[in-house]
């Protein structure tokens, strides 16, 4: 059987006694979303509950709200490249476990629908009219994802009508579109940025869905971070409310790696690799001069993954500061004391700070306004300049010690480069998984690897909370042991940081989500 739903177990509806979809659902209730026009709507959360605590958090399907849709043979069945591959098509029942470290009696936990091609599709190739949009900040690999969506649609499914939306969400209603063909996108993966342009703000749901409807678009590929996926979720809600046969697929983009559930985001590896160049430069500068300090600022608004991984990779870093780590400057166990000791012991040091680190401290000393960008994200104070000044002031005070501090801010240089080899392969898989999902009629999903297997994840799981570094986790312990920096933590801080035991598990960049487990209890 190859259909949208797993044949096993029960489909949990809005009235399920097992899960409480109102608490899980980011969507308004049916009565809230239904206007005067009456269309069939699917349950806000699709969950299949099985034995031993198994839960499939499924994604919506066009058949949930558009009745009697015909299906077609997947053209890949006759594609010379793919038809020879045994088991190329994904079994309709395949799901991917979010939790892979299990104990004898522990519940099997949350699963997601496995991504990949299905035997039957819900679009005829000639009828597909796809569009691609990129939103939010830049990230290495954006162009690769665009390229591979275009090539995947064209080469695998014979789709010819593909357009690009110019300049993010507002491009749907304020700009002309761009025609995308395999020829147009052939070389773009070698360039940084996005050939489609991007923007923050400008998300007008009604105008966007009007534009989708007016242009006859029936597959929407939305590449962007947490804000973008929130925008994609409300676009999907409106499309479903209007009863349109339009598949909405999100491809998660975030250089900060702050999207939960997925193993890691594309561009992250490239960013960590590129950050090594800045850290090397800081180290060369610092060790060439007496009491040299190299300070490098890396991206990471609320999540310090780039700083943490760049530090671990480099081994030249003596101190890493991230948004998740409360630190302090003065007194025993503080940053100044550590710098002094390190300079006395080693003659030089390298500090890496994520841009979001120490924002509370910076705001205390600089009268911070509450400015936001066009998407409503808080604009951060420059921790790099602030730290530079603070360190210089501290050591020059009463001629304490002569130091030489060099500050390097490579943030935009890192963000603007093309994806590296491994990110390019990763982007290809993301794009192809999104294409397979949309062709198979799935909608309202974000695609991404969960424990190494590409999966379709409902929007609300991606947007409900950010992925953060857990500083009571083993990865941060490795960092502390590599840098020898103070932990800056009191026992009380540790207790507050600690979640249940599973929060302390390692293996993945992403942190586990407890919401559903709480629901199931």
Sign of the dihedral defined by the CA atoms of residues 514, 515, 516, 519, in that order: positive
Rule CB under 6 A: say whether 140 interacts with ligand F6P: no
Of 13, 79, 213, 377, which lies in the binding site for ligand ATP, with binding defined by CB under 6 A?
377
Closest CB 137 distance from ligand F6P, rounded Å: 3
Of 116, 137, 250, 384, which lies in the binding site for ligand F6P, with binding defined by CB under 6 A?
137
Q: Which is nearer to Mg ion, 227 or 292 (CB)?
A: 227
Contact region with ligand F6P (CB under 6 A), list: 113-121, 179-187, 299-307, 330-338: 299-307
The CA radius of gyration of the chain, in Å to the nearest whole number, is 24
Contact region with ligand F6P (CB under 6 A), list: 163-171, 235-243, 250-258, 307-315: 250-258
Rule CB under 6 A: say whether 136 interacts with ligand F6P: yes
Of 112, 27, 144, 21, nearest in space to 432 by CA? 144
Rounded CA-CA distance 374/353 in Å is 25
Closest CB 192 distance from Mg ion, rounded Å: 19
Rule CB under 6 A: say whether 264 interacts with ligand ATP: no
Which residues contribute to the site for Mg ion (CB under 5 A)?
225-227
SS (H, E, C) 29-64: CHHHHCCCCCCCCCCCCEEEECHHHEEEEECCEHHH
* String marking each residue 116-155 x if it binds ligand ATP according to CB under 6 A: -------------------xxx------------------
Closest CB 375 distance from Mg ion, rounded Å: 7
Closest chain position to Mg ion (CB)? 225
Q: Decide: 240 and 42 in contact? Cβ < 8 Å.
A: yes
Helices (H), 250-403: 268-287, 305-314, 335-346, 359-365, 383-396
**How far from 289 is each of 335, 341, 346, 389, CA to CA, in Å?**
21, 17, 12, 19
Q: Give the one entry of ligand F6P, ligand ATP, Mg ion, none that residue 299 binds, where binding means its C-beta sits below a cut-off of 5 to 8 angstroms depending on kind.
A: ligand F6P
Rounded CA-CA distance 380/149 in Å is 34
Of 74, 228, 257, 411, which lies in the binding site for ligand ATP, with binding defined by CB under 6 A?
228
SS (H, E, C) 157-219: HCCCEEEEECCCCCHHHHCCEEECCCCCCCCHHHCCCCCCCCCCCCCCHHHHHHHHHHHCCCE
Rounded CA-CA distance 68/496 in Å is 52
Rule CB under 6 A: say whether 309 interacts with ligand F6P: no
Q: Give the one entry of ligand ATP, Mg ion, ligand F6P, none that residue 230 binds, where binding means its C-beta sits below a cut-off of 5 to 8 angstroms depending on kind.
A: ligand ATP
Rule CB under 6 A: say whether 301 interacts with ligand F6P: yes
From the list 64, 256, 473, 513, the catalytic residue is 256
Rounded CA-CA distance 289/149 in Å is 50
**Tokens describing residue 201:** 């703000």
Rule CB under 6 A: say whether 355 interacts with ligand F6P: yes
Of 146, 235, 247, 255, which lies in the binding site for ligand F6P, with binding defined by CB under 6 A?
255
Closest CB 136 distance from ligand F6P, rounded Å: 6
Tell me whether residue 256 is one of the annotated catalytic residues: yes
Q: Decide: 281 and 397 in contact? Cβ < 8 Å.
A: no
Q: Decide: 325 and 359 in contact? Cβ < 8 Å.
A: no
* String marking each residue 216-245 x if it binds ligand F6P according to CB under 6 A: ---------x--------------------
Which residues have a catalytic role annotated? 256
The footprint of ligand F6P (CB under 6 A) covers 136-137, 225, 254-256, 299-301, 355, 373, 415
């Amino acid at each position: 059987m190859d259909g949208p739903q797993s044949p096993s177990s029960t489909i949990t509806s809005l009235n399920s006694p097992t899960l409480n979809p109102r608490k899980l659902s980011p969507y308004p209730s049916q009565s809230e979303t239904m206007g005067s026009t009456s269309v069939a709507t699917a349950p806000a959360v699709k969950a299949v509950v099985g034995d031993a605590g198994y839960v499939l958090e499924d994604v919506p399907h066009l058949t949930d709200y558009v009745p009697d849709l015909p299906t077609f043979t997947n053209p890949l069945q006759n594609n010379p490249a793919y038809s020879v591959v045994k088991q190329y098509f994904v079994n309709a029942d395949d799901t991917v476990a979010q939790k892979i470290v299990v104990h004898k009696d522990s519940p099997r936990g949350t699963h997601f629908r496995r991504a990949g091609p299905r035997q039957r599709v819900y679009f005829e190739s000639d009828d597909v009219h796809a569009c691609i949009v990129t939103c939010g900040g830049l990230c290495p690999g954006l162009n690769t994802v665009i390229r591979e969506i275009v090539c995947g649609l064209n080469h695998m499914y014979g789709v010819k009508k593909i357009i690009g939306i110019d300049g993010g969400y507002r491009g749907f209603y304020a700009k002309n579109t761009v025609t995308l063909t395999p020829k147009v996108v052939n070389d773009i993966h070698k360039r940084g940025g996005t050939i489609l342009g991007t923007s923050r703000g400008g998300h007008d749901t009604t105008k966007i869905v009007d534009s989708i409807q007016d242009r006859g678009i029936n597959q929407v590929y939305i590449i962007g971070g947490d804000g973008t996926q929130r925008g994609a979720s409300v676009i999907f809600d409106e499309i479903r409310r209007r009863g349109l046969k339009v598949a909405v697929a999100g491809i998660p983009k975030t250089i900060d790696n702050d999207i939960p559930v997925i193993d890691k985001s594309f561009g992250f590896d490239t960013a960590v690799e590129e950050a090594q160049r800045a850290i090397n430069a800081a180290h060369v500068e610092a060790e060439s001069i007496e009491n040299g300090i190299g300070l490098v600022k890396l991206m990471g608004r609320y999540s310090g993954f780039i700083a943490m991984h760049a530090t671990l990779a480099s081994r030249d870093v003596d101190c890493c500061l991230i948004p998740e780590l409360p630190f302090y400057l003065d007194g025993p166990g503080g940053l100044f004391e550590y710098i002094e000791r390190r300079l006395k012991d080693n003659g030089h040091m390298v500090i890496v700070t994520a841009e979001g680190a120490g924002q509370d401290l910076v705001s205390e000393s600089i009268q911070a306004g509450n400015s936001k960008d066009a998407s409503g994200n808080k604009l951060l104070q420059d921790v790099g300049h602030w730290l530079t000044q603070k360190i210089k002031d501290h050591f020059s005070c009463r001629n304490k010690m002569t130091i030489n501090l060099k500050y390097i801010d490579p943030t935009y240089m890192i963000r603007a480069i093309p994806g590296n080899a491994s990110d390019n392969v990763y982007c290809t898989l993301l794009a192809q998984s999104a294409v397979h999902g949309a062709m198979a009629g799935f909608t309202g999903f974000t695609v991404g690897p969960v424990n190494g297997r590409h999966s379709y994840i409902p929007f609300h799981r991606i947007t409900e909370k950010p992925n953060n570094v857990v500083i009571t986790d083993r990865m941060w312990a490795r960092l502390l042991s590599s840098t020898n920096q103070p932990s800056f933590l009191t026992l009380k801080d540790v207790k507050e940081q600690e979640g249940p035991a599973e929060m302390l598990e390692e293996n993945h960049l992403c942190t586990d989500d407890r919401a559903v487990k709480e629901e199931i209890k």
